[in-house]
Structures are given as structure tokens and as C-alpha cells.
Structure 1
Amino acid sequence: MQSDRNLSHLNSKGDVHMVDVGDRPSTFREAHAQGSIQMDRETFDLILRGETPKGDVLAVARIAAIQAAKRTWELIPLCHPISLSGMDVDIQPAEHLPGLRLNCRCRTTGPTGVEMEAMVAVSVGLLTLYDMLKAVDPAMTIGSIQLIHKSGGRNGVWNR
């Protein structure tokens, strides 16, 4: 982190406030976040065979991720409500873990970015997978939730 940057969620008195984005131009913005869940090989194989006790865990996790992105402003206190123009949720097997990797890409045209929406979507999608599979594998581990890419706005493009 650069020490010369101001913390925008603090006003001149040092009090927390919601940043006013009303004078910012609306630009296309995109964010990609990723995370993973590691599990026993047996649990991983159940998912691949479509034989999990609670049904299609991948479909439910995708829906949960989408819902979470749309409600990020209700969960993270200083986030603005954002009109998402598009969102992709992709869940892929990760043999080497064994486990799953969840990727989320959020898009909008507006005065503020969608990084938090992508990160919250990944987090809730992974938590949903844990919830639906914990009966067969309570030792699963969620990890590596991170922003991979963001673009748009005054800071331009950033890539991990």
C-alpha cells in the first residue's frame, strides 16, 4: 500500500463516512475475483459424479454468488448500491487441491467500481459450497479469496 494515498472513507475530522461519488463520471468498470475450497478426495469425487446428498451444489453456489453480489451494499457498510450490468460465475474442479476454484466477474457502468461485489460473490459462493457439503466433509478449507483484475475509473487497470 502506498503511504501517500488518503483513506477516502475518512472525512477531514477523521470520522468514517460514505464517499460521495456523485461528481465522478460514469465509466465502464469490471472486476474479477477468485477463491477456492479444498476438500477430501472423496467429497471432490461426489461432486464430479453429481452424487452429493443435497443435490446440485454448483448451481446453488452460483445463484448464491449472484445474489450476494447484488446485495453487497447491504453487507459492507460503506459500499454504494450498484446496478450490475452483468456478472459471470464460474466454478471449476481443481484436481491438485482437490477442490473447486470459483471465479466471479462483475460489470457495471457507473461512478464506482465493482471489486467488492466480485469479492463478496466469491466469498458467499464458497461459503454456500461449504454449507451444502459440510455433512460429508466438515474439514473443508476456504482460501485464497483475492482480486485478480479490475478496470475502469480514475485508477485504470490493475492486475494481480
Structure 2
Amino acid sequence: MEQVKLLGFWYSPFSHRVEWALKIKGVKYEYIEEDRNNKSPSILPKDPYDRALARFWAKFLDDKVATMVNTFLRKGEEQENGKKEVCEMLKVLDNELKDKKLFVGDKFGFADMAANFVGLWLRIFQEASGVVLVTSEKFPNFCGWRDEYINCN
């Protein structure tokens, strides 16, 4: 039995993407066909409220990615408006992460994975562009989460 297990559906373009990537990279894997009506446990929390919360944060963050990227690509008034919007988003995240290490529960999960762009790439965009939006003074809770995310194994 292989160590890498790919859970998928025969008609899913997403599991086929992963399958082809594994083949191209020469990674041995075991393909396991999922029953759509009886799925295996996923990375989402079991508790319905926590599961809904994780999905909410993932959607919230996904909706902000384009604004963040565009903020670093624009100039002048467009960039200033983008900075304000990104800082508002960061205030929301910072407030949510108050007294917490992770978005939902005590295990690294779906919402934290969805926040990878903010956690990892925001610092890189700042360094490349010289536009600094995140500091530990302005967003201490978010920066604590980001550091936890980057160092998560």
C-alpha cells in the first residue's frame, strides 16, 4: 500500500488534476474512489457550527485575494483605496484571532489552509513592492497566527 492516498471521484476534474500531477512527478499513490453519499472524514471540523465557521472564513478570504494582489500592482488612488480595503480585512482577521492560535478549534484546518495566501504571500508582496500593510504593532493577533502558520509542520 502506498503512503500517498488520493481520494477522488471518477468525474471530478479536481481529483484528476492531482492524479496527473502525481503521475508527472513520479509519486506513487493509491487512488481511492469516494462514495459521494458516504464521504470519508475530511479536513473540516465534525461540529456543524465549526464546519460552517471554517467555510465562512475560507469564503471570506477567497473573496479578498484579488483585492490584495491588485493593491500591490496598482498605483496612486487605486492603490490607496486597495490599502484601505486590505487593512479593513486585516482588522477583521486580527479581531477574529484575538486569544486564538488558529481560526477554528485547536487544530490547523480548512480555514487556516484557505488563509495561506494572506499568511505566506502578503509578506512577500510587501517586500517586493515596498508597500507595508502588516506590522505586529498594527495587527498583533494576525501576525501571531501568520507566524504559527509559517512554522506549522
Taking structure 1 as the reference length, what is the TM-score of the superposition? Answer: 0.27
Question: Which of structures 1 and 2 has the larger relative contact order (alpha carbons within 8 angstroms, sep 6+)?
Answer: 1
Structure (1 or 2) with the greater strand fraction: 1
